[in-house]
Amino acid sequence: MKKDTFQISYPSIHAGTEKSEITFLAGKPDLVSVYNPGAQDAPCKRFFVTDATVASLECMKDFTEKFDDGVCGNDCLLILGSGEPFKTVESVLSIITAALEAGFSRKDLFVGIGGGVICDLTAFAASVFKRGAAVELVPTTLLAMVDASIGGKTGCDYQTYKNMIGSFFPARRLYYWPEFVQYLPENQYNSGLAEAFKTALLFDKEMYYIFKNEAEKINARDPETLQTIINKSVRAKAAVVEKDFTEQGIRATLNLGHTFGHALESVAGLGKITHGAAVAWGIGRAVALSFKKEYCREAFMTEIFDILKLYGWETAAIPGVVYGGGIGERLLNVMHKDKKNLTEKVRLIIQKGLQDTVIEEVADSDILSVLK
Ligand code: NAD
């Protein structure tokens, strides 16, 4: 058969998404000083999105009070419901509808101020608004600071599936105010810590030793220690994303603990355990698997378990949050549905040691051996 094939090339990504400028800010979060809502000399209209919990924080008062019925000069503020149940297509459409009604164009700017849910939703809405408008993010949870805000993964949940609709669309600017973390409830703080600990194991020995030796300061949210952890996590993730934006290689290692962790979240029932606590348990299982496969020494596994315990994370093969029969098999069953699997085998990130990681397809019998 005669074939006539040709190729056309495109610029790599949307204009305005080729780089992210990252700024760390100290002291009480002050959105007014950064964005000055209603300013006559602003280069474009700004569409701010946050959630009800963040909007009601004391440190947000000066900012939210500027808006009357969601409007301040040319700028708008939309307040969505808080948390994962609101990470829906409907929320994305509500952002787009409100921006259209307020006459926003693709030259204007969307700004997400909140946790991972608001960052993902706002960036996704921006990425499809009139085929793409710029977005900036102000992460307010520890998890969003150390993970969700960096790297351009956007999206929302669909039906019972997490993050099933989305795009790669990095924020043009990111503002990190570690002090937002002081307002977080304990479980949300602890959830973000787990992602930072994962980053330490993968990429940053110095941060690993902070987790190992300075639990008291970390658990007390010592501002200086937190600033170091956030700064190091952001830089480590930024470096990985810069090398592998679309997750063809090294970026996949950021899923350490996640295949086990997602399975636990699902078997326990969504919302029964925080994402971070499930990931922390998953890190323990991945290290147990590493020991079982003789990739790491027992002393390494014990050290990791000891660190996990310092932050109240589960190290048991079957954690207390799940009960009933055949739990190992039920967890394995969910792990088989992980969207990162490439064959019928489960693909796992395994830690052989500090900054020593492999990605492997693992036999069911090996996985089950660390789930009992
Ligand atoms: P979240 O956004 O739901 O925030 C958790 C809760 O904390 C919410 O109720 C929120 O209102 C509240 N909150 C936010 N900031 C606060 C503050 N400073 N003080 C008090 N309360 C505050 O959840 P999250 O844990 O931040 O993020 C989880 C989401 O992030 C998930 O949907 C996940 O899929 C996504 N995520 C995305 C990426 C990515 O690369 N895009 C990476 C990891 C996680």
**Atom of ligand 1 at shortest distance to CA of 123?**
41
H or E stretch at 199: helix 186-203
CATH number listed for the domain at residues 21-183? 3.40.50.1970
Is the distance from CB of 330 to CB of 262 less than 8 angstroms?
A: no
Among protein residues, the one whose CA lies closest to atom 37 of ligand 1: 148
Considering only residues 316 and 13, tell me which one the structure prediction assigns the higher pLDDT.
316
The Å distance, Cα 325 to ligand 1 centre, comes to 32
> According to the model, what pLDDT value does residue 16 have?
63
CB atoms near residue 251 (< 10 Å):
18
Ligand 1 pocket (Cβ < 6 Å) reads: 51, 53-54, 57, 82-84, 87, 114-118, 120, 140-141, 143-144, 147-148, 151, 153, 163, 180, 183-184, 188, 191
Tokens of 70: 């969601």
Same fold, 21-183 and 186-369: no
Q: What is the pLDDT of residues 251-299, one digit of tens each?
A: 999 999 999 999 999 999 878 999 999 999 999 999 999 999 999 999 9
Among protein residues, the one whose CA lies closest to atom 32 of ligand 1: 117
Q: Please identify every residue annotated as catalytic.
A: 131, 153, 195, 237, 247, 251, 255, 258, 262, 275
> According to the model, what pLDDT value does residue 18 have?
78
| CA within 13 Å, CB half, 14 | 23
Residue 136 main-chain phi, psi, to 5 deg: -125, 150
Query: Domain spans of the chain?
Result: 21-183, 186-369
Q: What is the pLDDT of residues 174-230, one digit of tens each?
A: 999 999 999 999 999 999 999 999 999 999 999 999 999 999 999 999 999 999 999
Nearest residue to 258 (alpha-carbon basis) of 124, 138, 147: 147
Q: How far apart are CA 257 and CA 280, in angstroms?
A: 7
The Å distance, Cα 119 to ligand 1 centre, comes to 8
CATH number listed for the domain at residues 186-369? 1.20.1090.10
CB atoms near residue 88 (< 10 Å):
19
The Å distance, Cα 237 to ligand 1 centre, comes to 17
C-alpha separations of 346 from 39, 326, 360 in Å: 53, 18, 8
> According to the model, what pLDDT value does residue 283 have?
98
Q: What is the pLDDT of residues 83-119, one digit of tens each?
A: 999 999 999 999 999 999 999 999 999 999 999 999 9
Tokens of 27: 């002291």
Q: What is the pLDDT of residues 305-358, one digit of tens each?
A: 999 999 999 999 999 999 888 999 999 999 998 878 888 999 999 999 999 999
> According to the model, what pLDDT value does residue 10 have?
62
Beta bridge partners, 335, equal none
Among protein residues, the one whose CA lies closest to atom 27 of ligand 1: 116
Tokens of 41: 């000399």
Q: How far apart are CA 166 and CA 151, in angstroms?
A: 13
Alpha-helical runs (H) found in 245-362: 258-268, 275-292, 298-310, 327-336
Q: What is the pTM of this model?
A: 0.94
Beta-carbon contacts of 195 under 8 Å, excluding residues fewer than 6 positions away, are 142, 143, 146, 147, 233, 276, 279
Q: How far apart are CA 78 and CA 74, in angstroms?
A: 13
The Å distance, Cα 224 to ligand 1 centre, comes to 22
Q: How far apart are CA 73 and CA 76, in angstroms?
A: 8
What is the DSSP pairing of strand 75-80 with strand 46-51? Answer: parallel
Tokens of 206: 């110095």
